[in-house]
Structure 1
Amino acid sequence: MQALIRMAPLWLAACLLPGLAGANNAPSPPKKKAAASARPAAKKPAPKTAATVQGTQSYAQRADAMTFADDLAERRQLDRDGLRQTLSQARLLPGVPKLMLPPSHPSAKNWQAYRARFVEPIRIGAGLRFWQQHRASLERAEQTFGVPAAIIVGILGVETIYGQHMGNYRVLDALATLAFDFPAAHPRAAERQAYFRSELEHFLAQHQRAGTDPLRPRGSYAGAMGQPQFMPSSWARYAIDFDGDGRIDLFNSADDAIGSVANYFKGYGWQTGLPTHYPVRLDGSAQDKEALLLPDILPTFSVTSFTARGAVLNEAGQRHPGALALIELQNGGAEPSYVAGTENFYVITRYNWSSYYAMAVIELGEAVAQALPR
């Protein structure tokens, strides 16, 4: 699951995690055995690094859950009894709703501390091994979708350390808990609950149509799955069979994870060859800075309007052909760091709506690339 819980994307992105409008534009891999299923594979249970978190009371007696199943069956022409039976086996995860609430006493943002959690020796070493083992697939994904191998490696490293930590919550329980028991105290409770009901719908529909067991997948406490921590809607829209074995398996196939992450970014508008950001320093008034930060991470300013407000770019940045955003990374009590984010920087934040997350992905991928033997 995206590291800061922002689904799309791949959280609202984030929370992820998070509108998605996907398409599989990848050519068929060589020696393709059969048409790929767009449903989660049932090859074997997802690897777990810890015991599965257990839920408590069943949703079998919950009228809202059963009504949801009936409505879903009618709208998607699915088996009503099968959906009811599946939801009856979902269990409330008591601790999960609390995890959705904003902290009562948030700590000051600190980019250097955040970066140190992800750009560190364990992830760099694991990323180096991953890149060396899957170099051919990374190169093919870069050629097919235009997304650099370093960005794909950065995503998979930040998300799950290349499949080492994919979550130990039963996905059905996590999605049901957030679909029917999302905390009312959340400032956007109605919107978030609707989002999770949509994700639960995707999850149930995919498994029923594929004939796979919805009780088996394990993932994050928000229902994100596999090496890239895709939410069910992202799995449906962007996951692809990149290893050519006739199925999509983001739990066990690194190749499928690589291709799917690249397809995800391409679907969100990744531009081949465009940098993610440029160095920048500020040489203007407080009002100029405030104006530059107002659009947040959305690229809004032309180079001319950007520099007119006191943003000083290097030579490469001055030649940038599109829009830019001033990205502020706070460093606790120290001076903030700044970069000029491009449209591709914004695409990374569609995976997790956080500039800190995007920079961690970029810098982890760069660190792994620098560690590769020349």
Structure 2
Amino acid sequence: MTFMRLDFSLLRSLASKCAACVLLAAGPAHTAPVVASPSTPAAASTVIVPYADRPEVQQWAHDMAKRQHLEPTWVMSQLAQARFQPKVAKFIMPAPSGTAKNWTNYRARFIDATRIRQGVQWWNAQQDWLTQAETRWGVPASVIVAIVGVETIYGRQTGTFRILDALTTLGFDFPSGRSDRRMFFRDELAAYLQWCHREGRDPTGVLGSYAGAIGLPQFMPSSILKYAVDFNGDGHIDLMQQPADVIGSVAHYLAQFGWQPNMPTHYTVRPPTDAQQLAELMGPDIQPTFTVAQMQARGALVDQEGQHHAGPLAFVSLQNGNDAPLYLAATQNFYTITRYNWSAYYAMAVIELARELRQARAMAAAPQQRPRTPDR
């Protein structure tokens, strides 16, 4: 999930992003989907059409190469190595309709002992880079570490699909049954080939999520081009092997999308009892829209700390199945985290993991109390 990160109901969690994008790829090598021969019934005879032999792929490659100032023969030679991945087409489909959202269950997927323990270890190991990033962009180290933890558990789950296959599959064989995103993924494929060419990478050698997200922070290729940084100054942007680049890129991304240093992410809020007022507050969704006074005028009561907040707030509801929702008055910083993955549930998971990481580090750093010697 950043990229212009992709929402698809918590894709990496969704992810997500992400953290969930680790399923194995499968499919015939160097082939596009099985296409029925025009002269025989589909059940009787099929032919395999390589991507490089498909006219729409050839035309796209020619046009893209011209726009990006790439050699057309190089672009086509890469696409000739792309293979259709049926699992990619399957995994990109949304969850079945009627699936109830449950914040408690969602939280449990990402706030666990493994992520907390490994997050503290990763934070300690990368302390210098995290401090530099926080000083430069104002994004707390805990938030950066939490995003990497939610996305890939610090590199344990970065995905096993060839990015070339995933993006070509979704760019030219996006499944029916949901809104058509072929153009989006063709743009990501173009960005991916441009990045590989610029970095001298083999486009067939990069692995990632089924949606094309790359590295520890699960950036989409267009986000690598726009927001990733060479934070360690070695001349390359490496989100797979260089923690410095991962840290700098996440911090830069959030700063570009409006992170405000020292601003809380949210306050607790008591919802109005009037259904119409509640609907008005929830209308803008996660977009900060209301002042504290405007929220209160609609029957919502923001906590004491939030009473002093000067900027706009969003009224956010996190569903809990059959239990009462969790309501938040979310700030610009909460909204900024949703630009990484367009979900309030994702943002709150990052915020909660960041809090747990801070507490775990503080406990580990606190001097151990020596046991009292019994009086003699």
Contact map agreement 1:137 1:255 (CA 8 A) in 2: yes
Query: Does 2:60 align with 1:68?
Result: yes
SS of the residue 1:69 aligns to: helix
User: 1:280 — aligned with what?
Assistant: 269
SS of the residue 1:279 aligns to: strand
- Mapped partners of 1:14, 1:115: distance in 2: 15
Within the candidate set 137, 142, 146, 1:150 is matched to 142
Moved more, 51-60 or 325-334: 51-60
Query: Does 2:220 align with 1:231?
Result: yes
Contact map agreement 2:161 2:207 (CA 8 A) in 1: yes
Cα deviation, residue 357, structure 1: 0.4
Cα deviation, residue 130, structure 1: 0.6
Contact map agreement 1:128 1:368 (CA 8 A) in 2: yes
Query: Does 2:53 align with 1:53?
Result: no
User: 1:183 — aligned with what?
Assistant: 175
Cα deviation, residue 184, structure 1: 2.5
Percent of residue pairs bearing the same amino acid type: 47
Judging changes above 3 Å, is the alpha-carbon distance between structure 1 residues 15 and 62 closer, same or farther for their aligned structure 2 residues?
Answer: farther
* Runs of 5+ unmatched residues, structure 2: 13-20, 32-49, 367-376
Contact map agreement 1:11 1:230 (CA 8 A) in 2: no
Within the candidate set 308, 311, 319, 2:308 is matched to 319
User: 1:299 — aligned with what?
Assistant: 288
Judging changes above 3 Å, is the alpha-carbon distance between structure 1 residues 111 and 304 closer, same or farther for their aligned structure 2 residues?
Answer: same
Cα deviation, residue 98, structure 1: 2.0
Contact map agreement 1:292 1:326 (CA 8 A) in 2: yes
* Runs of 5+ unmatched residues, structure 1: 18-48
For 1:10, give the aligned amino acid. R
- Mapped partners of 1:9, 1:72: distance in 2: 19
- TM superposition score normalised by structure 2: 0.85
User: 1:22 — aligned with what?
Assistant: none
User: Which of structures 1 and 2 has the bigger CA Rg?
Assistant: 2
Query: Does 2:187 align with 1:195?
Result: no
Q: For 1:196-211, what aligned pairs fall within 5 Å after superposition?
A: 196-211=185-200
- Mapped partners of 1:184, 1:74: distance in 2: 30
Q: For 1:329-368, what aligned pairs fall within 5 Å after superposition?
A: 329-368=318-357
Bigger RCO of structures 1 and 2 (CA < 8 A, at least 6 apart): 1
Cα deviation, residue 153, structure 1: 1.0
- Mapped partners of 2:66, 2:290: distance in 1: 47
- TM superposition score normalised by structure 1: 0.86
Judging changes above 3 Å, is the alpha-carbon distance between structure 1 residues 11 and 225 closer, same or farther for their aligned structure 2 residues?
Answer: same
SS of the residue 1:305 aligns to: helix
- Mapped partners of 1:70, 1:183: distance in 2: 24
For 1:252, give the aligned amino acid. Q
User: 2:372 — aligned with what?
Assistant: none
Q: For 1:162-173, what aligned pairs fall within 5 Å after superposition?
A: 162-173=154-165
State the number of aligned residues.
335
CA RMSD of superposed structures (Å):
1.9
- Mapped partners of 2:8, 2:148: distance in 1: 15
